[in-house]
Structure 1
Amino acid sequence: MAKLYFRYGTMNSGKSIEVLRVAHNYEEQGKKVLLLTSVMDDRFGVGKVASRIGMQKGAIVVDEHLDMVALAQTERPNCILVDEAQFLNKAQVSQLIEVVDELDIPVIAYGLRADFMGQLFEGSNALLAVADTIEEIKTICWYCDKKAIMNMRCKDGVPIFHGEQIQIGGNESYVPVCRKCYASKKKAAHG
């Protein structure tokens, strides 16, 4: 029986490397995998899953017009992998549920749990509510050796705590931090 997995982590925790590794494992065994990514992530070009260490692979772009159920029915993959799943909306998560429950195709979604203000993304919120299995991909805090659980947005190396929820960026814009360091930097910023 297929399951819906949600694997979440902070920025720079290795989510995209994991997506590429899992895709490689399926393909190496001669199995078909569909790799999906959000139209919103254009850091390495739209329609690419890429890691900071240089690995990348083309992917199907998820936008408001993509019918993931019809795609899965047509392609009949052994597994569907979704990168940047935090950018999904509730309706798209419902499509993934249908792929799992009605077509018996496992789906593994990777993404951030929360934004730089500690608020859940719509896709993450929906996945946390309905995923069969929820797993954390861990990394360490940028400032100390504790486990990072939050994303800190920075501008010119200075932490910021306001702005639009979505701003695409990498290490120049975000660092993974523990809750204590996040609180300390926020307190210092607000004097």
Structure 2
Amino acid sequence: MAKLYFRYGAMNSGKSTALLQAAYNYEERGQHVVLAKPAIDTKEADHISSRLGVTRPVDFLIAPGENMRAVFAEHRARVIRRGAEALVPEADPSHVDVACLMIDEAQFLTPEQVDDLLRIVVLDGVPVLAYGIRTDFRTEAFPGSRRLLELAHSLEELKTICRCGRKAIFNARLVGGRFVFDGDQVAIDELSTDRVTYESMCAECYLRESGGRIDGR
């Protein structure tokens, strides 16, 4: 049975690397995958890029408010059509289909788009692997991540470490090299004129830098 998977972790926990490796594993076995990410993630434009230097273009970008199930259906039909029209037909063209839909930066999806992912899994029978972070720099859950935590069949934490060696669970924001704890929820790293960056931190180090503040308070 197809399932909705949410694989989450703090920044720099290898989420994009894991997604690209999973895609490679499917394709190495002759199966077809579709990759997508929210258009709001302007870093690397229409590519998924791991911090190890591996990049790959997505099959489509997800616009805010876009019907995920409808857009995926178009790309699924394209995969099936290309399989049927291939110069060297596959062993069984009737079985050419999408084996998995993979979403990077899934925290930027709307709750309604996450609902669409569940429909793709349950009604269309296609597994979905969604990768993202749970919370923003103020420790508040992203709406997409919150909905994935509510709906996913399987939850998997991808781990990374803090500067002190403990497990990192928070994502602290720096602007011009200084920690900030107020501001818009979304600010893509290294694209701002003030050079927005992030650091994965454990709770103790986060509270030390914030002066004990949590969620901007």
Fold-level match, TM-score > 0.5? yes
Provide the C-alpha distance between the structure 1 equivalents of 2:212 and 2:3, rounded to a whole number of angstroms. 44
TM norm structure 1: 0.93
Partner-residue secondary structure (3-state), 1:92: helix
* Residue 183 (str. 1) matches residue 203 (str. 2): no
1:40-59 equivalences under 5 Å are 40-45=40-45, 47-59=46-58
Classify the secondary structure of the residue corresponding to 2:155.
strand
Q: Mean Cα displacement is larger for which, 57-66 or 17-26?
A: 57-66
CA distance in 1, matches of 2:142, 2:131: 13
**8 A contact 2:64–2:109 mirrored in 1:** no
Deviation at 1:136, TM superposition (A): 0.5
Q: Distance in 2 between matches of 1:38 and 1:68?
A: 10
Written as runs of structure 1 = structure 2, the 5 A alignment for 1:105-184 is 105-141=126-162, 143-169=163-189, 173-184=197-208
Question: Do residues 87 (structure 1) and 111 (structure 2) align?
Answer: no
Distance 1:160 1:67 in 2: 34
Deviates more, 1:89-98 or 1:162-171: 162-171
Give the Cα separation in 2 of the matches to 1:50 and 1:158. Answer: 25
What is the aligned length?
188
Report which of the two structures shows the higher radius of gyration computed on alpha carbons. 2
Secondary structure of the 2:122 match is helix
Unaligned runs of at least 5 residues, structure 1: none
Tell me the residue number matched to 1:15: 15
**Structure 2: gaps (5+ residues):** 77-96
Q: Summarize the Cα distance change of 1:131–1:188 in structure 2 as closer, same or farther, 3 Å threshold.
A: closer
Tell me the CA shift for residue 65 of structure 1: 5.8
Normalised by the size of structure 2, how large is the TM-score? 0.82
- Report the Cα offset of residue 64 of structure 1: 3.1
Letter in 2 for 1:182: Y
After superposition, what is the alpha-carbon deviation per residue over 1:81-139, rounded to whole angstroms, capped at 9, x for unaligned? 00000000011001101000001110010001000000000100000001001110000
Q: Distance in 2 between matches of 1:65 and 1:32?
A: 26
What's the CA shift for 1:146?
0.2
Residues 14, 5 of structure 1: alpha-carbon distance in 2 compared, 3 angstrom cutoff: same
C-alpha distance in structure 2 between counterparts of 1:10 and 1:148, whole Å: 6
User: Deviation digits for residues 141-189 of structure 1, max 9, x if unmatched?
Assistant: 0x20100000000122221111110000169610100001000111189
Distance 1:187 1:37 in 2: 35
Say whether residues 1:98 and 2:115 are aligned partners: no
8 Å contact from structure 1 (residues 73, 103) kept in 2: no
- Give the Cα–Cα distance (whole angstroms) in 2 for the partners of residues 91 and 186 of structure 1: 33
The offset of 1:28, in angstroms, is 1.1
Determine the C-alpha separation between the residues in 1 that align with 2:126 and 2:24. Answer: 18
